[in-house]
Chain A
Amino acid sequence: MERKKALNIAVCVKHIPDPNLPGELDGQRLKRAGVQGVLDPGDEFGVEAGLQLKEAHGGEVTLISMGPAVALEAVRRGLSMGADKGVLVSDDALAGADALTTARVLAAAIAKAGPFDLVIAGVESTDGYTGTMPSSLAEFLGLPQLTFVKSLEGAEGSIRVNRQTVEGYHVVESPLPALISVTAGVNEPRYASFKGIMAAKKKPVEQWSLADLELSSDDVTVNQSVTNIGKAEERQAGEVVEDDGSGAARIADFLKEAKVI
């Protein structure tokens, strides 16, 4: 039997303030210090995708994160789920980093920890929601990017994904190495078992500073700034339609308008 080539996979994970708690502002930014944090629930899909590929093809899943020292908790969480090792980039100069800076730092960390066959990220973080990091990261790494992945399948030397679009999905295939960004719903992330949690304590986590990545504080100068913050629009009351016999047609029209069917 032909032996499959093992996949070396990097998954980007972020430590964010627990989205189940009411968020607080610190000036123009989300308050993070001293707030209960969690592994971004969106990133659990990325970790699960990596683990499933590893289970199918063999290989290793490395978690890559940037954040303050407490972000180690998010890395541990992913290790508890079954990832093999982690990298956390922490540096005082990174406080307040924007999405572009984050991509630059993660790219350097991935380059140093790699080479990887596949880099996985969530489509967007649950705290900042810029949704720009994965694309920037792919550019910095010079990798093809397959975004908004709603299902995936690895093969020898390539990956094939269903890419979510407004109307449905595209089937996209790319040679490896590549980067994919996964949507919530791409899989069902597993729960960490107690055994997994105990095993995670012994798994290696590298902690790197900017100097370790040969980056200077000039490389991470923040260019984006938040100029204004407003309240999200209140949800509008729904439209109530009395069914006079045309109800089914009205529903079908509505769904067509929403491009669901």
Chain B
Amino acid sequence: MDFDLAPEQREFTRTVEAFVDDVIRPHAERWDEEAELPMDAVKQMAELGLFGLPFPEEYGGMGGDFLTLCLAIEAIARVDSSLAITLEAAVGLGAMPIWHFGTEEQKQRWLPQLARGEKLAGFGLTEPGGGSDAGATRTTAKLVAGEWVINGSKSFITNSGTSVTEFVTITAVTDDNNGKKEITAIIVPNGTEGFEVGKPYRKMGWHHSDTHELSFNDVRVPEANQLGLRGEGFKNFLKILDDGRIAIAALAVGLAQGCVDESIGYARERTAFGHAIGDFQAIQFKIADMAMKTELARTAYHKAAWLKELGRPYKMEAAMAKLYASEIAVDVARDAVQIHGGYGYIEEFPVCRHFRDSKILEIGEGTSEVMRILIARELGLAQA
């Protein structure tokens, strides 16, 4: 039994924390208000190698492991969830599908620029008609004279419309034999005729993360843009989402830790009735609970990442980590606002933003309900 991170993981985490303090913290509030992805910060994150962490050097990566990526996501999310999800989605949803399911040629072509962080990519699964029921995909793709012709739309796609977005991998129904849909993943480069990126959404949180609705109107891409085997799009993205859940848990832990840190600082400074409010047990107990939940959620995602790294089954642990971490993140953020009193409701105090940023964690990359369904299924319970 060993709970220690490797020395290089610890050192890199410290580096990322210092980077976040210098480059991100001073601007996070303004970026949130401007509600636009700060490309300069993304570029500096790229220079640090963050976008290539889990990929081998020959594909432009850093040769690190998945847990190191999660640690970096956690370190960023302490301060800025929008940039943390930008990294999480770029690596987990943009580059990972290419890495896992791409042919050698596809990897050579698409991966290095993503791993170096020069380009971003999105992953389009959710549709206006439904996200949880991913099998209900309506977007279609038909093979015509060596080209996939795509029609349909996708909603809420992260990193799909930045100035450096190279492509979006989408899932589409490629055959519908007797109601048994065949779903295939296809790479659609931005700028392809008929592929339109909608206006950015106005969101509750994650303001400076880039999210768009996408529409496809007779979009033609070469057959070679098919990612993975025909008909395996559904199976493949489920695997991608398993990994993504560990990373979302890390993001949630970062947000919760940020709330704990802000609350401790505030409780020491703020006085009421002649005492620092941190001297009151009611506040102390709240902070103790917040810290406990955060630490347990951290342990849960570390364990899921550890299982994954060893090549052992981790589906249930990943779902548990995501479910627990996202739910405690919302609780912890709400309590942090409470500890801050009226100031917690004011944007100058980071906990205000953290609270708004927390809610999506219970929805994105599988809702809490879907996580419970998955866990129950892994426990062998039949579905109604």
- A residues near B (Cβ < 8 Å) are 76-77, 80, 191-195, 197-198, 201
Do A195 and B8 touch (CB < 8 A)?
no
- For B49, the chain A residues whose CB sits under 8 A away are 193-195
Provided the pairs A193-B48, A193-B49, A193-B62 are in contact, do residues A198 and B18 lie with their beta carbons within 8 angstroms?
Answer: no
B57 A197 Cβ-Cβ under 8 A: no
B48 contacts which chain A residues (CB < 8 A)?
191, 193-194
Residues of B with C-beta under 8 A to A80: 11, 15
Give Cα A194–Cα B68 distance, bound, in whole angstroms.
9
The answer to whether B37 has its CB under 8 Å from any CB of chain A is: no
User: Given the complex of chains A and B, what is the CA–CA distance between A232 and B330 in angstroms?
Assistant: 43
Any A CB within 8 A of the CB of B64 = yes
Instruction: Given the known inter-chain contacts A76-B11, A77-B11, A80-B11, please indicate yes or no for A194 contacting B53, CB distance below 8 A.
Output: yes
Is B31 among interface residues, defined by CB-CB distance under 8 A? no
Point out the residues of chain A lying under 8 angstroms from B8, CB to CB: 194, 197-198, 201
Residues of B within 8 A of A198 (CB): 8, 62-64
B64 touches which of A77, A191, A194, A201 (Cβ 8 Å) = A194
Q: Which residues of B contact A194 (CB under 8 A)?
A: 8, 12, 48-49, 53, 62-64, 68
Q: What residues on A are CB-neighbors of B18 within 8 Å?
A: 191
B345 adjacent to chain A (CB < 8 Å) = no
- Please, which residues of chain B bring their CB within 8 A of the CB of A77? 11
Sample (24) of A-B pairs whose CB atoms are under 8 Å apart: A76-B11, A77-B11, A80-B11, A80-B15, A191-B15, A191-B19, A192-B12, A192-B15, A193-B15, A193-B47, A193-B49, A194-B12, A194-B48, A194-B49, A194-B62, A194-B63, A194-B64, A195-B57, A197-B8, A197-B12, A197-B15, A198-B62, A198-B64, A201-B8
Please give, as numbers and ranges, the residues of chain B lying within 8 Å of A197 by CB-CB distance.
Answer: 8, 11-12, 15
Q: Interface code B21-57, partner A: CB below 8 Å = 1, 0 otherwise?
A: 0000000000000000000000000011100010001
B11 CB contacts on chain A under 8 angstroms: 76-77, 80, 192, 197
Report the bound CA distance from A197 to B8 in whole Å: 6
Residues of chain A lying within 8 A (CB to CB) of residue B57: 195
Q: What's the nearest-Cβ distance from chain A to residue B27, in Å?
A: 17
Residues from 2 to 21 in B contacting A, C-beta threshold 8 Å: 8, 11-12, 15, 18-19
Binary flags per residue of B88-103, CB closer than 8 Å to A gives 1, else 0: 0000000000000000
